[in-house]
Amino acid sequence: MPVTLVVAEKPSVGREIAKVLGLPGRGSGSISGPGYVVTWAVGHLIGIAEPGEQDPAWAGRWRMAMLPMIPARFRLAVLPESARQYEIVRGLMLREDVTAIINATDAGREGELIFRRIAMLAGCDKPVRRLWASDMTEQGLKKALAGTEPAETRRNLGLAAFARAEADWLVGMNYSRLFTLKDGSLITVGRVQTPVLKLLVDRRREIELFAPRDYWTVEATLAHGEEAFAALWHAPPDYKETRIDRRAEADAVVEGCAGRPGVVLSVESAARQQKPPLPFDLTTLQREANARLGLSAKDTLAVAQALYERRKLITYPRTDSRHLTRELFAEILEPLRAAYAHFPAEAQAAAEAVKAGSRRFECVNDAKVTDHHAIIPTAARAARQALSADEWSVYEMICRRFCAAFMAPARYSASTVWAEVAGQRFKATGKVFKELGWLTAEPWRAAADNPLPRLRKGQAVAARALEARAHQTKPPAHFTDATLLGAMETAGKLVEDGELREAMKKRGLGTPATRAQIIETLVARKYVARDGKKLVATDAGRHAVELVEAHLPQMVSPELTGEWEKRLADIEQGRDTYPAFMRDIRQAVGQGVQAVRDAPLVPHARLFGAGVDRDGFPLDAAPPPPAAPPPAPVAQGAPASAPAPAASAPGPGVRDRDGFPLEEPPRPGGAPEEPLGPCPLCGRGVVERAGAFECQAAATGECDFAIPRRLFGGEVRAALVRDLLSKGRTFRRTRFVSRAGKPFNAHLRLAGGRVELDFSD
């Protein structure tokens, strides 16, 4: 009897599908029944093989000579922790009675990658159909099973998935090794991770360099008869600026207008409306949950995934669309009925608008639905007591936003009054809400009235009270999960306008499904620290970005990486191709490695500001190193790569093509160098050289550990280096000089192959 194999992404999803298919029992790796076998991955079962498995020449200790590592064809490897389940899935795929396969992994790029890698490595060539489930309810799964489509319809999605994974491998493997070898300390680089870190480093720099500035505004209470209203002074000639830089000028405005009569110059009133918001996609849900509930992007995704998979209360959450299809809209009363159980007034208002059919809803637009429609409630009714506090809070946000999308606009009257007192102009604005409309669904949004008196042009007013109020400019705020997600969505451009954000989405950093993990990766690698809601780049993160930026500025560019992300989206839509994208990535990585490898290591003074080392302390001025002697002439008939004669060995401080110090000529008499201690990076000996204390392996390009002789404005002596290498910290304090030229005493200590100041006793 022919059997159809269904492959889900997770065991929980597989068991739900088995239940809908009426398969009995619970298997450990699969569930069988008449005509069907259901099995599952456990997330990714297969990844791209390690460099040493791609090419034996790339195995072992990291060396510059290995780079660039660009496989002609990427080999895949089963992840060790998933090997058992892979063998189960592979065996089922190759079973003789299995004649058809349904790919039921998550709808989206990563789900497609999980299945296609398994099928590719297993050598499965049986016909495959794609299941595309909007929700995990029984009704939703039955509809998805009845409407499977040929796997070929998602071929471009699979190609984009492979391109994303291979591009990340090329960038991560090559540039992480390149900069680690170059710097002598572990530096991790990622196609998306590094540009995101750049946003955080730049924000930290802006805050640290910010110089607050005092300014003043003049605030007035104007009165017409018994009715008073607040107004704000505006500066000539265009009357747009309200700030005054000098206190005396602000006081002069107050003194010149106090108690003086005035006149209304103009009154403008207009009927306005605030249109309903679109339903959530994942990024806007994560931003809202961070701002309102304090949940991190990662936590919000986990809660949303639980509401989708376990609770079956919301549709697929890993979506980048905020719109719904016309097909779904035809059934929209079902989820509204489920929302009515907890939000009756809001759901009823939305349902009445839908049934009236008197207006077009902006959220219904087939052309703007990508892989999946917006996140909305399912037809399943929630039992509040069964949900955790976070689950309920996120579910409530989704329901309220869903109802709001179909409710009436908020309508209000906006008024602007210009008045003149003693030749100075003041502006008053007011807003009076006539209908709250959709704002009742999200009551936390401000909708306060600020009515103004009924005024006409030419009416008299009096300046009842004036005040010169002092202010101070504030630095930009540190990123939070919410604001960083917004910046990632638009490739670093801080865009608040909803329509413009929508237009820029395809050029964002990462995807809605990956952005939370990118943030968590930066935190785990200690490149970013959480301070309450704030995300702050650490010194290590700053060093990594500034090192990469100094040598390979395009790799920290949010715009460039955003363009790459757009190309991946274009591959999904058939507007770009996998070969063209990968050709460009391979070329970019190869050229990048070559450029950095052939360049000398950028001095720390360039990385951290003129005259400042990686720890923020000044480097003593020193004459430029002597120019390297010209290369020795190549003997006639000798290959171009022939080494120069030993007599022309370069002097101290000259570096080879990999940026590593070249070995100095042997000491007189051939006496061996006496190591001062073991290298903290590779374990070999550290020896004294002309300009620094360096690892012996520096000459061969295998290690780049070095301690400069001049550091923090002071001299580093051999005895201090012995202490550092043997104890990790100097025994005695040493005299250094601050940036301001003031002497101070401190210990030195080793931290991850770097020398830092230590002020503890």
Q: What is the pLDDT of residues 458-502, one digit of tens each?
A: 999 999 999 999 999 999 999 999 999 999 988 877 555 666 556
Cα R_g (the chain), whole angstroms: 33
Percent with pLDDT over 90 in the chain: 67
Strand segments (E) across 125-243: 128-130, 149-150, 214-224, 227-234
* Termini Cα distance of the chain: 79
Q: What is the largest CA-CA distance in the chain?
A: 104
CATH homologous superfamily for the domain 178-209+476-599: Topoisomerase I, domain 2 (1.10.460.10)
Q: Report CA-CA distances (Å) from 748 to 117, 355, 401, 620, 745.
A: 50, 74, 56, 17, 10
User: Which pLDDT belongs to residue 11?
Assistant: 92
Instruction: Report the pLDDT averaged over residues 337-353.
Output: 97
For the chain, give the mean pLDDT: 86
Q: In angstroms, rounded to a whole number, what is the distance separating the alpha carbons of residues 133 and 379?
A: 14
Tokens of 441: 């669904």
Q: Mind listing the pLDDT tens digit for each residue in 583-597? A: 999 999 999 999 998
Q: Which two tokens stand for residue 728?
A: 């990790």
More confident residue, 616 or 631: 616
Q: Are 439 and 410 in contact (CB under 8 A)?
A: yes
Lowest-confidence region among 118-132, 148-162, 389-403, 547-561? 547-561
pLDDT higher than 80, residue 537? yes
Question: Which pairs with CB-CB distance under 8 Å and at least 24 residues apart come from 396-400?
Answer: 396/342, 396/343, 397/280, 397/285, 397/288, 397/289, 397/292, 398/279, 398/280, 398/285, 398/307, 398/314, 399/339, 399/342, 399/343, 399/346, 399/347, 400/343, 400/346, 400/441, 400/442
User: What is the rounded average pLDDT of the residues 650-665?
Assistant: 35
* Cis preceding linkage at 68, omega within 30: yes
Q: Where in the chain is the domain with CATH 1.10.290.10?
A: 282-404
Whether the predicted pLDDT of 621 surpasses 50: no
pLDDT at 640: 29
Nearest partner of 196 among 583, 425, 535, 580, judged by Cα: 535
At position 721, the amino acid (one-letter code) is V
Q: Mean pLDDT throughout 250-275?
A: 95
* Mean pLDDT of the 448-466 span: 92
Residue 701 banded pLDDT, cuts 50, 70, 90: low
d(CA 3, CA 95): 9
Least confident of 56-70, 114-128, 272-286, 672-686: 672-686
One of 175, 316, 395, 412 is an active-site residue; which one?
Answer: 316
Output the pLDDT for position 739.
Answer: 67
pLDDT (tens digit per residue) in 221-247 = 999 988 999 999 999 999 999 999 999
Cα 483-300-274 angle, rounded to 5 deg:
55
**328, 412 Cβ separation under 8 angstroms:** no
* pLDDT the model gives residue 731: 76
Listed in order, the ranges of the chain carrying CATH 1.10.460.10 are: 178-209+476-599
The architecture that CATH gives domain 282-404 is Orthogonal Bundle (1.10)
pLDDT at 717: 84
Strands (E) in 422-566, as ranges, are 424-435, 460-472, 479-480, 528-531, 534-537
pLDDT at 604: 45
CATH code of the domain occupying 214-275+410-472 = 2.70.20.10
**Phi, psi dihedral angles at 598 (to 5 degrees):** -85, -5
Cα separation, 31 vs 44, whole angstroms = 20
According to DSSP, the β-strands at 36-40 and 3-8 are: parallel
| Residue 24 confidence class, pLDDT cut points 50, 70, 90 | confident
Query: What is the spatial distance between Cα 347 and Cα 400, in angstroms, rounded to a whole number?
Result: 8
Give pLDDT, residue 501: 53
Q: Is the pLDDT of residue 567 over 50?
A: yes
Taking 70 as the threshold, does the pLDDT of residue 641 lie above it?
A: no
Q: What pLDDT is recorded for position 756?
A: 84
Q: Render pLDDT for 112-128 as a digit per residue (tens, 0 to 9).
A: 999 999 999 999 999 99
- pLDDT at position 627 over 70: no
pTM: 0.74
**Angle separating helix axes 389-404 and 282-293, nearest 10 degrees:** 120
* pLDDT tens per residue across span 174-198: 999 999 999 888 999 999 999 999 9
Q: Check residues 101 and 653 and name the one with the higher pLDDT.
A: 101
Long-range residue pairs from 225-233, CB within 8 A, at least 24 positions apart, any chain: 227/453, 228/464, 229/417, 229/428, 229/430, 229/452, 229/453, 230/428, 231/417, 231/419, 231/426, 231/427, 231/428, 232/426, 232/427, 232/428, 233/424, 233/425, 233/426
Position 738 scores a pLDDT of 73
Going by pLDDT thresholds of 50, 70 and 90, the confidence category of residue 412 is very high
Whether the per-residue pLDDT at 267 is higher than 70: the answer is yes
Is 578 an active-site residue? no
Fold of 3-164: Rossmann fold (3.40.50)
Token output for 53: 């498995």
* Comparison of pLDDT for 438 and 725, the residue scoring more: 438
**HEC profile of 637-669:** CCCCCCCCCHHHCCCCCCECCCCCECCCCCCHH
Local confidence band at 673 (pLDDT 50, 70, 90 cut-offs): low
CA-CA distance, 200 to 528, in Å (whole number)?
8
* Alpha-helical segments (H) within 379-527: 389-404, 481-489, 498-504, 512-524
Instruction: Summarize the confidence of residues 122-138 as an average pLDDT.
Output: 93
Please list the residues that pair with 537 across neighbouring strands: 528
Distance CA 335, CA 414 (A): 36
Residues 105 and 443: their CA atoms lie apart, in Å, by: 38
In the chain, CATH 2.70.20.10 sits at 214-275+410-472
pLDDT at 620 over 80: no
